[in-house]
Structure 1
C-alpha cells in the first residue's frame, strides 16, 4: 500500500510505539490517551491486513512484517521531515544549526574565511564547533553529534566520505631567545639536533578507526637518514600546550604549517623545516557515509568541493 493511501499520522504513531516499546509510554510522548493510540494501531494493522506487533503483558515485539514496515516508516518520516524543512527554508530562508568538528591544527586555516562568508550569505544559521583529535572527531560523526569533520588522513573509507587536500610541511616553532638560523625563514633539519623538541600526538580513540598517528615517526625517520636521533622532550595531543610551552622557552614545537594561524599576532617564530622537508598528513573534510546531510551541511560542504 502506498503512503498516500493511509494516514501519515498512523505511521508516526506506529514508529513512536516501536521506539518506546510500550503503548503507554508512546501515548505519553505523543501527548494523547492510551486507548485512542491502541485504536490507531489496530486500524493501521487492519488497513495493511497484517499484524505488526505481538502483544504481551510487559512489552511489544515486532513481527517480521512489522520490522520491514518500521524500516520503511523511518524512511517515510525522514522524507517528510526533510520536505518540511525544505519548505520552511524556501519561505523563511536557510536556517538551522551547523555542527562541525575539527582538530585545532586545521581549524584556524580552513574554517574562518569560509565561516565568515557562509554566515554573510545565511545569517540565520548558527554554529556549534567541537574540537578534538581526529579519532574524537570521527567518534562524534559516528554518534551523529556533528555532521562535518575536519581532520587529517588516514580515515576509514568504509565509514566516511572525504574531500582531501594536498599534504603540507611541518614547521619548527620557537621563541626569539631560542631562534636558530636568524637570517632565514627556514631551518635545516640537522640544525634541530640536540634541541628539545615538542611533538603532536594523536591518541588512540574508541571509534571504529583507531590508528595512532605520531609526528615522531616521520621525524625520527628523517633524522635517522641524517645520522642522528631527535631529542623529543614532550609529546602532546594539545596544540595550544605546545605553542604555549614554546613561548616560555621550554622547547621547539614541531607542528603542521597550517597551524601557524592558531595564535594570531604571536611573537613566536615559525620556520619551515628543510633538507629534507618533513610533510604532515593531508587534511580532509569528512562526513559519515550514507547519512542524510542537512541542507545547511550540504551547502557548507560545497565550499570545499571547489
Structure 2
C-alpha cells in the first residue's frame, strides 16, 4: 500500500463511482479499477461492495477511508511545511467571510500583514456561514470568519467580540434627533427591512438570526414590527435603506460596507439587541500553513490551540 493508492481510494469513495473518480484523477478507468483490486488483495479484505449502481463502503473500507484522510493530511502538511521552511512566509492565504464581518475585521489586518509579509497574496471568499464552512471542509480556504454556532467537533476557533444591532436609515426619518442611538419603541410602525437566514444546514435553523431577534424584541416591547422586506443579502438592505425604501437593522460591523453612503447608523437601545457571536474558524486536524498561523496572531482573543 502506498500514498498513490490511498489517494485513489479516497477519490473512489468520495465520488461513489470508479468512472467519476477516474475523471477526477485524470486517469483511465481500467488502471484505477486494477489499483483498487490490488489494494484489496494486499489487505485481504473487501473495501467496497460492487452489487449496486453506486459503490458501498464496507466497515473495513470506512476504517481505511478515515485513516487515509489523516495520513494524506499529514503527508501534505509535511510537504507544505518543508517547502515553507525554504521559502519563508509567502504564497496565497485563502479566507472565507460573511460580508459585514469581513468589512470590519479584514482591511486593516490585511494591510498590516501585507506590509510585513509582502510575498503573500490573498484570496477572499464571501458567503453566508454555511457557505464558508463548506469552503473550509472542501479545503478551498484555510480560515473562515462566521457567526456562531459552529460544530466544535469539526472546527477550532477564536471567539470575536460581540456587537450590537444598529438601525440604518436615511436622514429622512429623523428618528432620535442627533443622538447616536434610537429606542426600540421609536421603530414602532416604521417600515423595517430585516436580514433573514440563508437556507442551509439544520445548525442554523433556530431563533437566533437577526429577523428572529428583532421580531422577538419588538413583541416583548409590546408591538408587532412592520416588516416590508426580508432579504439574505445585507448589501441589498443597505442599498434600499440608502434609497429611502425603509429602515434596515444590521450588525454594527455592517457600517463598514458602504462608508460613503448617506446612511445614519444608530445603535438600538431600551433594549439593546446583540447580534449572534462570531469567530474565526479552521478545520481541526488540518495542517495550517505558516501564513495562516501568522495571520491568526492578529486575532489575540482566546489564544487558539493550533492542533496538527
Matched, 1:146 2:137: no
TM norm structure 2: 0.76
Counterpart of 1:114? 109
Counterpart of 2:2? 11
Counterpart of 1:289? 284
Counterpart of 2:239? 244
Matched, 1:275 2:270: yes
Instruction: Show CA shifts across 1:255-290 (max 9, x none).
Output: 111111111232211111111111111121112233
Counterpart of 1:132? 127
Counterpart of 1:57? none
Q: Distance in 1 between matches of 2:23 and 2:169?
A: 61
Does the aligned pair in 1 maintain the 2:113–2:295 contact within 8 Å? yes
**How far off is 1:95 after superposition?**
1.9
Counterpart of 2:78? 83
Counterpart of 1:200? 195
Q: Distance in 2 between matches of 1:20 and 1:189?
A: 54
User: Greater CA radius of gyration, 1 or 2?
Assistant: 1
Q: Distance in 2 between matches of 1:275 and 1:64?
A: 57
Does the aligned pair in 1 maintain the 2:81–2:289 contact within 8 Å? no
Alpha carbons of structure 1 residues 194 and 99: separation in structure 2 relative to 1, 3 Å:
same
Matched, 1:182 2:177: yes
Counterpart of 1:96? 91
Does the aligned pair in 2 maintain the 1:150–1:283 contact within 8 Å? yes
Structure 2: stretches of 5+ with no match in the other structure: 13-20, 49-55, 302-308
SS of 2:259's partner is coil
**How far off is 1:102 after superposition?**
0.8
Instruction: Show CA shifts across 1:156-189 (max 9, x none).
Output: 2232222112321111111112221222111111
Q: Distance in 1 between matches of 2:227 and 2:177?
A: 23
Q: Distance in 1 between matches of 2:299 and 2:137?
A: 21
Does the aligned pair in 2 maintain the 1:170–1:278 contact within 8 Å? yes
Instruction: Show CA shifts across 1:73-130 (max 9, x none).
Output: 6655544443332232232221222221111121111111111122222222222211
Alpha carbons of structure 1 residues 276 and 91: separation in structure 2 relative to 1, 3 Å:
same
TM norm structure 1: 0.77
Q: Distance in 2 between matches of 1:29 and 1:150?
A: 30
Alpha carbons of structure 1 residues 30 and 286: separation in structure 2 relative to 1, 3 Å:
closer
Counterpart of 1:160? 155
Alpha carbons of structure 1 residues 70 and 118: separation in structure 2 relative to 1, 3 Å:
same
Deviates more, 1:275-284 or 1:245-254: 275-284
Counterpart of 2:228? 233
Does the aligned pair in 2 maintain the 1:201–1:213 contact within 8 Å? no
Alpha carbons of structure 1 residues 148 and 182: separation in structure 2 relative to 1, 3 Å:
same
Does the aligned pair in 2 maintain the 1:260–1:270 contact within 8 Å? yes
Alpha carbons of structure 1 residues 196 and 125: separation in structure 2 relative to 1, 3 Å:
same
**How far off is 1:197 after superposition?**
0.6
Does the aligned pair in 1 maintain the 2:74–2:287 contact within 8 Å? no
SS of 1:168's partner is coil
Q: How does 1:203-218 map to 2 (within 5 A)?
A: 203-206=198-201, 211=206, 213-218=208-213
**How far off is 1:252 after superposition?**
0.4
Structure 1: stretches of 5+ with no match in the other structure: 1-9, 54-60
